[in-house]
Amino acid sequence: MLGLRPTPAEPAGLRGDPRTARGAATSVEDVLDRVLEARLSRAHALDPVFARDVAARLAAFAERGGKRLRTAFAWCGWRAAGGSGDATELLRTGAALELVQACALVHDDVMDGSPLRRGAPAMHRELARFHRDAHMTGSSLTFGTSAAVLAGDLALVWADDLLTEIALGSPHGARLHREWAAMRNEMVAGQYRDIHAQATGSSGVDEALTIATLKSALYTVERPLALGAALTGADEHTAAALRSAGRCVGLAFQLHDDLLGAFGDPALTGKPVGDDLRSRKLTYLLAVAVRLAEADGDEESAAALAPATAPVTPADEQRMRAALERTGARALVESKITDLAADGVRYFARTGADPGVRHEFAALVARASGVAPHRLEATG
């Protein structure tokens, strides 16, 4: 694998307690800090301009905010499959997942033209401003977009290098790498299906679910669970239960994210509300609303949700939100999220994980899906 060598274990002194999912999500911050410090050192040795302009911005972005959900789900998979004791490799796998997340967010913001991420300017916006402030020649927009694509690529390079180091030092490295390779391909396929659906003006429910699964559900929950389990060499029964749990919870997460994209509070989400509406991105929420409007003969809602022939105004956005409510799509999606989250908790219980781990998983599912914890504990 590219001639890389396993790296030494991370030193002790983690700020969180990796014996819980929430503690693992906190502890990965320290591991990620050390990984990024090492990568930045190598970047400076390679080229100081690249290190200053791109690598340092990427490192700051990766360290800034984020729920670290993927690390927490990897912990759940690891524990469900019998993982215990030293969590070093689990946390390093979590750090690799957080870097993949950084890649996905930077590239997604470029493709969507989003101005904000995690409460600050998106990477392409920040780099465009850097171009203007430095009085460089050419288009600031082109420079910012191009440099942000490279920053996202760099995040994936760092993630791949870290995961390869872990796999080389693990007796289950081949299995770990297979899960990782599948996840990367799924992410790219999902992103392409997303922009393809926008370009074709699609509103199909099945297509919306396919995009949600490929683009987000798999790499947010199912693959992190599988990667954690792969570190222990999980048996097929456990792996199958985790796959089913991850698919359900991953979809619940994405459908909840779609609701936040239409109705959320930017002060809480750290990103603008309404981007999906303005671009008419194909979400399950939109697809369901279109189907319901057509079935009910609701011409007003159908017109509000149809592909726009002119720039979308704030009034248009409000009409779209009203249509999502009036058709019953919002309520239907909220109900589906609850069902998916509950199914995920039930599937996870089939792993035979101890009650404490099942409780941790249910709490994490509630956090990811927005479903009240008491509605999930009873199912676990």
pLDDT of residue 377: 66
pLDDT tens profile 86-133 = 999 999 999 999 999 999 999 999 998 888 887 789 999 999 999 999
pLDDT of residue 13: 55
On whether the CB atoms of residues 55 and 40 are closer than 8 A, the answer is yes
Assigned CATH class of 21-377: mainly alpha
pLDDT of residue 15: 64
Domain residue limits, the chain: 21-377
Q: What is the pTM for the complete model shown? A: 0.90
- Rounded CA-CA distance 60/273 in Å is 24
SS3 (DSSP) at 56: helix
| Residue numbers of the chain with a pLDDT score lower than 70 | 1-16, 268-271, 377-380
pLDDT of residue 11: 43
Torsion of CA 191, 273, 219, 64, to 10 degrees: 110
On whether the CB atoms of residues 237 and 348 are closer than 8 A, the answer is no
CA-based nearest residue to 283, from 184, 215, 188:
215
CA-based nearest residue to 119, from 260, 254, 256, 269:
269
SS3 (DSSP) at 19: coil
pLDDT of residue 66: 78
pLDDT of residue 2: 35
pLDDT of residue 14: 61
Residues in the chain: 380
pLDDT tens profile 260-316 = 989 987 776 666 777 788 888 899 999 999 999 999 999 999 999 998 888 888 899
- Rounded CA-CA distance 30/180 in Å is 22
Residue with tokens 């249910």: 362
pLDDT of residue 130: 96
